[in-house]
Amino acid sequence: MPYSFDGTAALKVRPGAVVFPRTSEEVAACVKLAREAHIAVVTRGSGTGLSGGSVPSPGCLVVCLVQMDQILEVDEKNLTMRAQCGVITKEIDDAAAKVGLFYPPDPGSMKISTIGGNVAENSGGLRGLKYGVTRDYVMGIQVVLPDGTLTWLGNKCVKDVAGYSMKDLFIGSEGTLGIITEVLIKLLPRPVARKTMLALYDRMESAAETISAIIAAKIIPCTLEFLDRTTVQCVEDYAKIGLPTDVEALVLMETDGHPVVVQEEAEQMMQLARQHGAREVRAAADEAEGAKLASARRNAFSALARVMPTTILEDVTVPRTELAHMVGFIRECAIRHNLKVGTFGHLGDGNLHPTFLTNERDHEEMHRVEAALEEIVNETLRLGGTVTGEHGVGLAKKAFVRRQLGDGSYELMKSIKRALDPQCLLNPGKIFDL
Ligand SMILES: Cc1cc2nc3c(=O)[nH]c(=O)nc-3n(C[C@H](O)[C@H](O)[C@H](O)COP(=O)(O)OP(=O)(O)OC[C@H]3O[C@@H](n4cnc5c(N)ncnc54)[C@H](O)[C@@H]3O)c2cc1C
């Protein structure tokens, strides 16, 4: 039963069996057996996915990788780490921190998600604006192919143009092309200073203008995150951080790096926030207070999820210039369909998470949620955006992919799947139907 679902609402299928391999060779053996028996294989990390990627197909074999949890090497001379795919994301960064190094991608789920799941989804995080996403840190992967072959793609070289970049094909492939068993990742020197600030606004437009002004001032903060009024109210109710609950928007800003630069950028950002109408700007005095302020954003999803039995989290991304319009559109759409929605997201990346607070047993309301989601997707595509910025397609976004990509790109993707996995053994029915 616990392996019938992931973090996505309203998707549940019982698997035939669940196995917990400890080594890459055991994973390869599982795939070979499943292939001989014509049984589908659904790979699973921690099951925190938000697009149904690790939801089983009926009667399939779930290969759950959480017991492959060993960090195999920290190479301080080459600034790399090699780890088994089931290592928890936060443990990767904790191990790097012990030697003064840094693994930047920090999805909100980093205390539970696996590094293999992060690579399979090409996950983003709160520091994505400055540091990029998981793909930017993957130097190599060991992968089990659909025929059971175990192979390495990539290496420790900073430069390598020998042939196609095969590892890149597997990053973000959502368990449909191969099972990632080991990951070789790039690490950075750990920033010595960090400053965390919160800006509170009475108008959403002022928050969006601040973001544009910060980027226009040629500052790339590591974090520019946003919470709307409903989300702030839920977070305050849940985490008691001391936030005013009558604000229209809260922006979390973080800069890191050399202490002098951090100080200068923090002052500039606070000034820009005030100039663009922030009602109040708070700066953390130290790391502990910074973590407390940042927890307003880190708790957003959990705080919203407490309100109603079903939480449907969207993941649309638009060009940054369209953010204020998109937030307004979502709010207006929710009012028109008489739905409760809290929106938060990575404002600096244009990535919004409108979160519908609903009840899957209320069929009439679920129809209204579906209608609202369809409108949000249509508006996103009209603005040149994407239906998923970081959570992946899985089952949740399957209906929209062809419309976004166009026929050429969509068919190319399917032909790659057919070439690598002609039996459609791995994660069938995810991203597209063959
Ligand atoms: C509270 C919360 C906050 C979140 N915040 C973020 C966020 O900020 N940014 C973000 O990008 N996502 C976020 N997510 C979504 C999710 O945590 C990520 O997609 C994460 O990378 C999934 O990791 P996992 O180990 O749970 O993988 P799973 O959910 O188990 O699997 C995800 C997909 O990857 C495949 N897969 C898993 N492991 C492997 C492997 N070793 N080889 C091949 N395929 C594999 C699965 O088949 C599935 O398709 C959040 C989720 C929650 C619940």
Structure confidence at residue 291 (pLDDT): 87
Q: Which long-range contacts (CB under 8 A, 24 or more apart) does 285-293 make?
A: 287/194, 289/196, 290/194, 290/195, 290/196, 290/254, 291/196, 292/241, 293/196, 293/197, 293/198, 293/241, 293/252
Structure confidence at residue 286 (pLDDT): 87
Structure confidence at residue 423 (pLDDT): 95
Q: What is the DSSP pairing of strand 193-201 with strand 249-257?
A: antiparallel
- Show the ligand 1 pocket: residues with CB < 6 angstroms: 6-7, 42-50, 53-54, 65, 85, 107-109, 113-114, 116-118, 120-121, 123-125, 174-175, 179-180, 301, 390-391, 394, 427
Q: Looking at ligand 1, which residue's alpha carbon is closest to its atom 45?
A: 175
The residues near 265 (Cβ < 8 Å, ≥ 6 apart) are: 195, 219, 221, 255, 257
Structure confidence at residue 254 (pLDDT): 95
Structure confidence at residue 32 (pLDDT): 98
Ranges in the chain, pLDDT < 70: none
Q: Looking at ligand 1, which residue's alpha carbon is closest to its atom 7?
A: 107
Q: Looking at ligand 1, which residue's alpha carbon is closest to its atom 27?
A: 117
For residue range 49-100, what is the model confidence (pLDDT) as tens digits?
999 999 999 999 999 999 999 999 999 999 999 999 999 999 999 999 999 9
117: closest CA among 185, 63, 65, 41?
65
Alpha helices in 99-243 (DSSP H): 115-121, 128-131, 166-170, 204-216, 229-239
Structure confidence at residue 293 (pLDDT): 84
Token pair belonging to 75: 């190479």
What string of DSSP letters covers 365-388? HHHHHHHHHHHHHHHHHHTT-BS-
Q: What is the DSSP pairing of strand 193-201 with strand 310-313?
A: unpaired
Q: How far apart are alpha carbons 42 and 321 in whole angstroms?
A: 39
Q: Sheet with 150-154: list strands edge to edge.
A: 71-75, 80-84, 179-186, 138-144, 150-154
130: closest CA among 257, 1, 264, 306?
257
The kind and range of the H/E element at 351 are strand 351-358
Q: How far is the CA of 49 from the centre of ligand 1 (A)?
A: 4
Q: How far is the CA of 117 from the centre of ligand 1 (A)?
A: 5
Q: How far is the CA of 23 from the centre of ligand 1 (A)?
A: 20
Token pair belonging to 200: 């509170």
Structure confidence at residue 348 (pLDDT): 84
Q: Looking at ligand 1, which residue's alpha carbon is closest to its atom 21?
A: 118
Q: How far is the CA of 108 from the centre of ligand 1 (A)?
A: 10
Q: Contact, 394 vs 379, CB < 8 A?
A: no
Structure confidence at residue 321 (pLDDT): 83
Q: How far is the CA of 41 from the centre of ligand 1 (A)?
A: 17
Burial grade of 433 (CB within 10 A; 0-12, 13-18, 19 or more): exposed
> Which residue reads 């780490």 in tokens?
81
Q: Looking at ligand 1, which residue's alpha carbon is closest to its atom 8?
A: 107
232: how many CB neighbours lie within 10 A of its CB? Answer: 25
